[in-house]
Amino acid sequence: MTQFTSVLSKFDFNHWQHHVPVEDKIAAAHMDENNRRVLVWIQEEGPFHMALLKAKTCWYLLINQQLRSRFHLEVGQKVSLRIERDTSEYGHEVPEEFTIMLDQDEEANEIFLKLTPGKQRSLIYLVTKVKNPESRMKKSLAIMHHLRLSKGKLDGKQLNELIKYYNNL
């Protein structure tokens, strides 16, 4: 685990603007060629699952609007961080409801395991961001249904329709 201070910065060239630069030696110590996922503590709170990303001039961590609001961060402000390598299977905490659904639905589980790690993380995140256990279960059911229907070719519009359907049950 490494503790360091960085400054909230903003890129001018894309919509993923807010970030904190990470020194090359710190980034190199927490990743390898196959895994750039890290656990991050911001001002002693966390961990937050993130990825080390590379710009032309530096490594960085994206800081989304939710985190900026939570920690009252403004561009130019110093930020206290700790990072360590994320060794979890999916690079994200997997909700119990999602794991139960995967265990019970063999076909959806097989399809899920064939998805790219990024697509797996995206689906897991859809469930993780919901706080209510019943809602997490409904969202997990919708995802399993979508995986079977789409045979792994994810369609955001179709998935959203299924999520709405399951939420109204």
Give the whole-angstrom CA distance, residue 139 versus residue 136. Answer: 5
Identify the three-state secondary structure at position 72. Answer: coil
- Average of per-residue pLDDT across 31-43: 91
152: domain range? 96-167
Query: Is pLDDT of 16 > 80?
Result: no
Predicted TM-score (pTM) of this structure: 0.77
Give the whole-angstrom CA distance, residue 142 versus residue 125. Answer: 14
77 and 113 both lie in a single domain: no
75 and 24 both lie in a single domain: yes
71 and 112 both lie in a single domain: no
38 and 100 both lie in a single domain: no
Determine phi and psi for 98, rounding to 5 degrees: -70, -45
pLDDT in tens, 101-149: 999 999 999 999 999 988 999 999 999 988 899 999 999 999 999 999 9
Q: Name the DSSP class of 43.
A: T
100 and 146 both lie in a single domain: yes
9 and 79 both lie in a single domain: yes
| Bridge partners (DSSP) listed for residue 1 | none
pLDDT value of position 87? 87
pLDDT value of position 15? 61
Q: Name the DSSP class of 116.
A: -
35 and 104 both lie in a single domain: no
pLDDT in tens, 51-105: 999 988 889 999 999 999 999 999 999 999 999 999 888 888 899 999 999 999 9
Give the whole-angstrom CA distance, residue 153 versus residue 68. Answer: 33
